[in-house]
Structure 1
Amino acid sequence: MMTNLFSVFDPSTSMMSLSLNWLSTLLGMMFIPYSFWIIPSRYSFLWTMICNKLHQEFKTLLGYNKINKGSSFIFISLFSLIVFNNFLGLFPYIFTSTSHMSMTLSLALPIWLSFILFGWINNTQHMFAHLVPQGTPPILMPFMVCIETISNMIRPGTLAVRLAANMIAGHLLLTLLGNTGTSISSILLMLLLFTQILLLILESAVAIIQSYVFVILSTLYSSEVN
Structure 2
Amino acid sequence: MMTNLFSVFDPSTNIMNFSLNWLSTFLGILLLPMSFWLMPMRFNIIWMNIIYKLHMEFKILLNNKNSGSTFIFISLFSFILFNNFLGLFPYIFTSSSHLTMTLTLALPLWLSFMIYGWFNHTQHMFAHLVPQGTPPVLMPFMVCIETISNMIRPGTLAVRLTANMIAGHLLLTLLGNTGINMPMFMIWILLITQILLLILESAVAIIQSYVFAVLSTLYSSEVN
What amino acid sits opposite 1:54 in the alignment? L
State the distance in 1 between where 2:89 and 2:36 align. 25
In structure 2, which of residues 210, 214, 217 is the aligned counterpart of residue 216 of structure 1? Answer: 214
In structure 2, which of residues 176, 181, 184 is the aligned counterpart of residue 183 of structure 1? Answer: 181
**1:194 partnered with 2:201:** no
Match of 1:82 in 2: 80
Aligned-residue offset at 1:63: 1.7
CA contact (8 A) 1:35 1:44 kept: no
Which has the higher Rg, Structure 1 or Structure 2?
2
In structure 2, which of residues 160, 163, 172 is the aligned counterpart of residue 162 of structure 1? Answer: 160
Aligned-residue offset at 1:40: 1.0
State the distance in 2 between where 1:39 and 1:161 align. 41
Unaligned runs of 5+ in 1: 1-33
Aligned-residue offset at 1:64: 2.1
Distance 1:78 1:202, change over 3 A: same
State the distance in 1 between where 2:78 and 2:132 align. 37
Report Cα offsets for 1:171-199 as digits up to 9, x if no partner.
00000000001110010001000000000
Distance 1:108 1:94, change over 3 A: same
Name the Cα RMSD after superposition.
Answer: 1.7
Match of 1:60 in 2: 60
Unaligned runs of 5+ in 2: 1-33
In structure 2, which of residues 131, 144, 147 is the aligned counterpart of residue 133 of structure 1? Answer: 131
Distance 1:132 1:37, change over 3 A: farther
Aligned-residue offset at 1:38: 6.7
Distance 1:60 1:191, change over 3 A: same
- TM-score, normalised by the number of residues in structure 1: 0.82
State the distance in 2 between where 1:64 and 1:194 align. 46
State the distance in 2 between where 1:156 and 1:36 align. 41
